Amino acid sequence: MPYEYANDDDIERSTNTWMVAGVALLFLMALVFPFYRWYEPAARADSRELQAASLAAEGESVWTYSCASCHGTSGEGAVGPALNSKQFLQSATDAQVGTLIAVGIPGTQMNAFSLDHGGPLTSEQIKSVVAYIRSWEPNAPDRPDWRDMVGG
Ligand code: HEC
């Protein structure tokens, strides 16, 4: 014996209830969507920043082991040029710096560091050390003479 509504009023009441619920849900979604559109890019920017920060943290140890002996503990320069310089950092893109580290500068003490060129670093490690160098930029000192100490 299938369930039967007692009368038409019951059917109408039930239908109305569901219709009201549906319209309410639609309104709720319409309200939430702009909020989501506003929130989403901010969340993405946050996660990009976080990613850059964790990459830079990784890069710090690469710097300490592979670069600091020639470029200084804080990039102040030694045998190699100072990289902690506003002038250097503002003139070089991440891609340029990464390529330079990977390939090296032939005929100088700046060796190739990528595995592809016989060096010790993976491309991920090179990316991380570039992020670390880049993290100096906001506080980098004014140093137009950043290349002056090359060769000691
Ligand atoms: C054995 C010493 C030595 C080590 C180790 C070394 N470098 Fe260098 N690096 C140099 C010298 C010297 C130069 C300058 C070469 C020239 O142009 O005469 C240089 C140049 C550079 C430049 C180019 C700057 C420009 O002219 O635009 C970058 C970037 C750089 N090094 C990054 C690194 C990073 C990152 C590491 C570690 C992964 C590293 N170097 C390790 C000696 C070194």
Q: Tokens standing for 54?
A: 């964790």
Q: Distance between CA 83 and CA 143 in Å, rounded?
A: 9
Residues belonging to the chain = 152
The answer to whether the CB of 66 is under 6 A from ligand 1 is yes
- Token pair for residue 93? 């893109």
Reported as a single tens digit per residue, the pLDDT across 3-59 is: 766 788 888 888 999 999 999 999 999 999 998 889 899 999 999 889 889 999 999
Closest CA to 113 of 124, 82, 1, 29: 124
Over range 106-133, report the average pLDDT: 97
Residue 80, pLDDT > 50, answer: yes
Expressed in angstroms and rounded, the spacing between residue 51 Cα and the centre of ligand 1 is 25
Give me ligand 1 centre to Cα 20, in Å. 69
pLDDT at 5: 66
Q: Is 68 in the pocket of ligand 1 (CB under 6 A)?
A: no
Distance 150 CA to ligand 1 centre (A): 9
- 114 — pLDDT class (breaks 50, 70, 90): very high
Contact 111, 119 (CB under 8 A): yes
Is any ligand 1 atom within 6 A of the Cβ of residue 71?
yes
Q: What is the pLDDT of residue 151?
A: 55
Centroid of ligand 1 to alpha carbon of 100 (angstroms)? 8
Is 77 near ligand 1, meaning CB less than 6 Å away?
Answer: no
Q: Across all residues in the chain, what is the average pLDDT? A: 93
- The whole-number pLDDT of residue 152 equals 46
Q: Give 87's contacts (C-beta < 8 A, 6+ positions apart).
A: 142, 143, 144, 146
Residue 12 vs residue 137, higher pLDDT: 137
On the question of pLDDT at 1 being above 90, the answer is no
